[in-house]
Amino acid sequence: MPKTECSLLLDWRVRRLIINADDFGLTRGVNRAIVEAHEHGIVTSATLMANGPAFEDAAQRAKSNPRLSVGCHVVLVDGLPVLPRGKTPSLSDKKAHDGCFYDSLNRFVLRAVSGRFDADEIEAEATAQIRQLQAAGVSVFHFDTHKHTHMFPPVLRPLLRAARACGIPAVRNPFGPLYVSTLAKRPSLWKRYGAIAILAPLGRTFQRSVADAGLLTPDGTVGIVATGALDAGLFEGIVDGLPEGTWELVCHPGYIDADLGNIRTRLRESRAIELQILTSSEAREILARNEVQLISYRDLV
């Protein structure tokens, strides 16, 4: 397995894990859960949505919890752009009257790989989202994307330019091991496993692009296949099978409340389950047994 830039700075023989909570800013209940999973659990980082309905609440919580490393959760699918209406025509769904992004990941991917997005618009929108966090007084240590849209080179390249312009030193590596033995017990996840396996060859292009841009990235991400299905057993299997190096576990803790009920998301009950796992003594015991060191993106950079 090739070493990433970050592994040149860290001991390759040690297993390190960044546990990052996505969707910071989605709702107040999600914000509260992320902070609890950090203060009383194992979450070390979170990525904040500039266009999230609870952005101001999340920004305040981030500043009140300086040990929580915060990144920008760049949103290019679902929701409204941060830039004024009319500034992102190629990214906006023509059928939507409010200038929203495309709400279908499949449609987004088809447009991305067919070259129908304007790279300058992607760069400008990502820059606006990152700058909004920074203007709110939030220190931004990395970025990732909603639904991992930066897997695709036409999306990744302008995002890297935006990150460099904004002084962002690191990016999530959305590729990683797929845990076939663990998934054998969860046949419902095989469809998602297959989709991610098909995209795995893009990982080499990702590594080269990030290195050329001068950013840092972990060796990969674990747990994407288990999104929405993570339970104690899958968590234990992921940690038990964690390779040497520096990895990121993606999670989505949250409280189920009226605000979440009004949000277009498939992740509802699963958020409460993840919060319980992330704040449990069993999770810490599993990490300790496997001698996995928890770090954050701030530690990485």
How many CB atoms within 10 Å of residue 216? 22
How does DSSP classify residue 68?
S
End-to-end CA distance of the chain: 22
In this prediction, residue 12 carries a pLDDT of 54
SS3 assignment, position 142: coil
* CATH number for the domain harbouring residue 91: 3.20.20.370
Rounded-to-integer distance, Cα 77 and Cα 104, Å: 7
- The CA-CA-CA angle for residues 254, 135, 25, to 5°, reads 10
Rounded-to-integer distance, Cα 130 and Cα 68, Å: 17
Domain that holds residue 50: 5-300
Residue from 196, 265, 186 nearest 225 by CA: 196
In this prediction, residue 174 carries a pLDDT of 96
Ramachandran region of residue 23, left (φ > 0), alpha (ψ -120 to 50) or beta?
left
How many CB atoms within 10 Å of residue 173? 24
Rg (CA), the chain: 18
In this prediction, residue 77 carries a pLDDT of 94
In this prediction, residue 220 carries a pLDDT of 96
Which stretch of DSSP H or E encloses residue 25? none
Residue corresponding to tokens 């990144």? 71
In this prediction, residue 5 carries a pLDDT of 41
In this prediction, residue 261 carries a pLDDT of 85
In this prediction, residue 83 carries a pLDDT of 97
Reading the block at residue 85, the tokens are 């209406």
Query: What is the count of structural domains for the chain?
Result: 1
Distances (CA, A) of 150 to 39, 43, 123: 29, 23, 12
Residue from 90, 58, 93, 95 nearest 79 by CA: 93
- The predicted model scores a pTM of 0.91
The pLDDT profile of the chain, 301 residues, written as one tens digit per residue, is: 344 444 444 455 699 999 999 999 999 999 999 999 999 999 999 999 999 999 999 999 999 999 999 999 999 998 899 999 899 999 998 877 678 999 889 999 999 999 999 999 999 999 999 999 999 999 999 999 999 999 999 999 999 999 999 999 999 999 988 766 666 667 777 777 888 889 999 999 999 999 999 999 999 999 888 888 899 999 999 999 999 999 999 999 999 999 888 887 888 898 999 999 999 999 999 999 999 999 999 999 8
In this prediction, residue 181 carries a pLDDT of 61
Rounded-to-integer distance, Cα 15 and Cα 11, Å: 9
